[in-house]
Chains A and B, each alone.
Chain A
């Protein structure tokens, strides 16, 4: 069965420090991987995706993510956190071979403290 795990409910980071939000996945075939961000009372905004190619993917707002096939991980990173990065972050995966739906993690609340 396909699944996505975000092991941390909440991540706290001081402004200016690097941040990492973790995501691991399980699919039967090759994955499409996505990160989205959700601000309060807003819909989901696309950050970045991995389809194929370079394992390091760069996305919006200075975020990047590294695809690691052996560890089945797709952690979200940013070198220097901003207070405005505080939001809810979701990792999602789609199994290329089997279906069209996105499977979502439960979300990680990122809090950046000034």
Chain B
């Protein structure tokens, strides 16, 4: 079992650009959650997908959007990037209560 995988591992973008991050959940998991972790802080919940729909959303603007595919993999899209979007973006998959995290994608916005 490969566990949760994320791609790419690192990404550099400039302000105003758009970015897509990808996540493949752990085998058998049907729920994917996305988190933003700024340097020196705890993760902040962005949203959670279940059965290809956004089940819950945290306090993030509409520039942050996502998608879940029939195979449960997921994408996080961020439009009109701001400098403050620079962070580690974590994907977590779950079947019940315990969330398993991927290694994250480090996004740097210049």
Contacts and interface: CB of A to CB of B under 8 A. Distances in A.
Interface stretch (A41-49, A63-71, A72-80): A41-49
A46 B99 contact: yes
Contacts, number: 53
Interface residues of B, number: 22
Interface residues of A, number: 23
Nearest to B45: A101
Nearest to A45: B101
Interface of B: 4, 33, 40-45, 48, 55-56, 58, 90, 92, 97-104
Given A43-B101, A102-B43, 10 more contacts: A42-B103, A42-B104, A43-B4, A44-B43, A44-B101, A51-B97, A100-B55, A101-B33, A107-B40, A107-B41
